[in-house]
Structure 1
């Protein structure tokens, strides 16, 4: 029976890339289908369901994704990488079909939660799977993992809009079927057959504290991001309760012999620095991804297709630097590689904080390309630096913690920039009305100028967060960390 390290890492990475692409695509493609869902699930008398109700198809998925992540390391140890990954893919595919057939909005929301529980396993399990077979080529393998993470968010809204226009919203979910079947089928053929360790104790109280606690934190943060006042109980109550539950989980984990997540791994300074850098980068990146499409559509008046085309240079730039950075991170110290990528990303955000209503589109395309160069030089090299710092037997645990940090702080970045943009637009005379599409003629031009100013100021939020990431990049190890061999 082949061991994980004897498998062909490129074949394993190819399988994982298909599943990862499907998972990331599903998180972005549904956003443009919300109006179509409102029309489809209208009552018999033609009353549309509230946008906030339909938005739970997105929020419920995100909360479920966060809630399941803490259990992925336990699943890896219990049943192994191969069946954990294939099972997650198959269940996700079945849930996608069920979503397309949902008879009511309530059923769709419930099915999206189930889909999120399956989808939340795909990325961390896939990352752990690739890391287990990568050996000394960890950086190159992680760079391949980064390709779907860069491409899917760019084409997701464009593909979703096209499917809704030429077919129906059902295909937003049915598009997952060919990807899911391909990933599962190839997984059966190509993934290593090493099994899990079998009898692994489950910290049940830890599950009851961490998974719901993490979901509550994200729920409170998401409510703030939707524009709900910070003093509202739907913001501070779940946030406070979730933080208390997570704090209790942390206290329990530090004293338990077999915790759900081994937090002592954070005592490794290189790993701790890498994960702090990753969450700062993720918060800035997700805030940037929220602002860019809104700026192009609501300030510059572009459609979804044109917006996707202008954001596309980001992915192209990343594809240029990603293989270069991956090769370098396998040979050089993290401090000699990662600051260049973070610094480039910081520069692009600094330039975006100066945009106006009439900024040259060629100039913006150049900024998008520059941003892509920074993303490709940062995203996966940071993941590699984190995993290089831990023993191979701790890869599953390290990957789980890494994904939890990114999930939480990605939502935090969106919430912060959403609140900031809403406040900035409210402080203008015509900016908010422009974004809402309520103006025309001469007043529209004035409104666009004011709205552009608000967006420029809002871009300072991810700029500051990326500045923090840049500071942390210079705290990474100055010597190359050699990946440790598998432990007992």
Structure 2
């Protein structure tokens, strides 16, 4: 199909708009956690009895489940509505939902508004990634590196900013802080995002939606329950897992047989894409497990506050900012196998070093390890996304991005759940470690308990280490040649590329 001549789109302007929205979405996933005690106090009953933590936690769980449920629909939305309006609409509705969360008169209303917010927030990252990829041209690696900045900064800033807002103002501002970001991103989107859009006729696979979205949410619900401490044999774990996995299997079967599937799974036939997505989910499981263990170790074993923890983790972001632009430039010019394994090796070595943490591990040693870890993240996270998108046709970017985000969402939750169970078992196996981190000991017993807890944390770090070892093996299986976009290949070569 021929296109009429038009002014070139500045991809850096598009990336700047998407970065603002992505920062807001990722920030919201971490900033609310610190407000749970305040929410319990605010929504206490007439007799002053606060609602149980498990009830308030649904404000977090409901958001995560809604985010997962909406992701499969984003590719359909891109085809039906177009990149520009899909992104601006998601940002605007997310901002509205944030205001409604802050104004919620009851806990039930807050949970409902958080689900609404999650449905909007789940669209922001995949749609933003597809939007940037659609205008990146031969600068895909550099554009993806910019997309990685919010994903690195927001998890560090979230707990610090959230704690400060709750202390100096109230929990309402944990949600209201989204308003300036949302309004800025929506207005800039209307002005700077390309007006030419790729809207086209699209058929909604309703049975696919009814299988995939609830199935994915049920899987994550079961995994999250396991991570929250429920026994694996508990119906709250195995029942949603079994039903959810069965629905996902039926969805896969339908997708491979229907003419207009919700997601085209045949894209997994592309070996470079398949390898990249397997690498990404292995990395994501390790990354989320590491993100859980490290702050918990610093606060529960070392006794640091949220702000001190954030400052100590800051070298991770600084290290990533050093290597990210270098890796982005290289991934646009060199084969993925010559770029990604170096960052993956740095990440693997840093997490391996964390298996040796103790009750008094030096702060400077930790800072060096976390700087190396950040350098590994910067050399890995977005280059893997770039390697995946380089392998697909431009028309398949939305579908490829959606599958990529689903994999990351699921295995991110799996990483948290698995390492939570491992850590709980390791702490329970110590005489005093569990009591020490719970603050139930004092004096010499506390010192002994913290030493045992530190050893348990060190052993728990072997789980992300193992995932990163698998990821490194997969990185060495990435293409050793520059991947030519499939639309630039002759028809026969394009077919052969999927072998």
Query: Given the superposition, is the C-alpha separation of residues 421 and 7 from structure 1 closer, same or farther in structure 2, using an over 3 Å criterion?
Result: same
Counterpart of 2:69?
67
Provide the secondary structure at the position in 1 that maps to 2:339: helix
Whether 2:229 is the aligned partner of 1:230: answer no
Q: Distance in 2 between matches of 1:127 and 1:62?
A: 19
Q: Distance in 2 between matches of 1:126 and 1:243?
A: 28
Q: Distance in 2 between matches of 1:133 and 1:344?
A: 31
* CA-atom RMSD in angstroms: 1.4
Counterpart contact for 1:270–1:386, Cα < 8 Å: yes
Q: 2:448 aligns with which of 436, 446, 449?
A: 446
How far is 1:4 from its partner? 9.5
Q: Kindly provide the CA deviation profile for residues 47-76 of structure 1, in whole angstroms up to 9, marking residues without a partner as x.
A: 111111111111100000000000000000
Counterpart of 2:182?
180
How far is 1:197 from its partner? 3.0
Counterpart of 1:30?
32
How far is 1:196 from its partner? 4.0
Counterpart of 1:273?
275
Q: Distance in 2 between matches of 1:129 and 1:286?
A: 25
Q: 2:8 aligns with which of 6, 9, 15?
A: 6
Counterpart of 2:23?
21
Matching of residues 52-451 of structure 1 within 5 Å? 52-451=54-453
Provide the secondary structure at the position in 2 that maps to 1:64: helix
Q: 1:465 aligns with which of 467, 475, 480?
A: 467
Q: Distance in 1 between matches of 2:456 and 2:24?
A: 34
Q: Distance in 1 between matches of 2:446 and 2:7?
A: 61
Q: Distance in 2 between matches of 1:3 and 1:57?
A: 48
Provide the secondary structure at the position in 1 that maps to 2:99: helix
Q: Distance in 2 between matches of 1:436 and 1:57?
A: 24
Query: Given the superposition, is the C-alpha separation of residues 77 and 169 from structure 1 closer, same or farther in structure 2, using an over 3 Å criterion?
Result: same
Alignment length, in residue pairs? Answer: 488
Q: Kindly provide the CA deviation profile for residues 432-452 of structure 1, in whole angstroms up to 9, marking residues without a partner as x.
A: 011111122221111110000
Counterpart of 1:478?
480
Counterpart contact for 1:392–1:486, Cα < 8 Å: no
Q: Distance in 2 between matches of 1:45 and 1:319?
A: 51
Counterpart contact for 1:19–1:122, Cα < 8 Å: yes
Whether 2:53 is the aligned partner of 1:51: answer yes
Counterpart contact for 1:321–1:376, Cα < 8 Å: yes
Query: Given the superposition, is the C-alpha separation of residues 107 and 417 from structure 1 closer, same or farther in structure 2, using an over 3 Å criterion?
Result: same
Provide the secondary structure at the position in 1 that maps to 2:167: helix
Q: Distance in 2 between matches of 1:267 and 1:296?
A: 43
Query: Given the superposition, is the C-alpha separation of residues 2 and 47 from structure 1 closer, same or farther in structure 2, using an over 3 Å criterion?
Result: farther
Q: Distance in 1 between matches of 2:198 and 2:113?
A: 29
Q: 2:41 aligns with which of 39, 42, 55?
A: 39
Moved over 6 A (4+): 1-5
TM-score by length of 2: 0.96
Tell me whether 430-439 or 348-357 shows the greater mean CA deviation. 430-439
Q: Kindly provide the CA deviation profile for residues 159-180 of structure 1, in whole angstroms up to 9, marking residues without a partner as x.
A: 0000000000000000000000
Counterpart of 2:497?
none
How far is 1:244 from its partner? 0.3
Counterpart contact for 1:321–1:373, Cα < 8 Å: yes
Q: Distance in 1 between matches of 2:45 and 2:199?
A: 51
Q: Distance in 1 between matches of 2:8 and 2:163?
A: 43
Q: Unaligned regions of 5+ residues in structure 1, if any?
A: none
Q: Distance in 2 between matches of 1:404 and 1:4?
A: 34
Query: Given the superposition, is the C-alpha separation of residues 163 and 392 from structure 1 closer, same or farther in structure 2, using an over 3 Å criterion?
Result: same
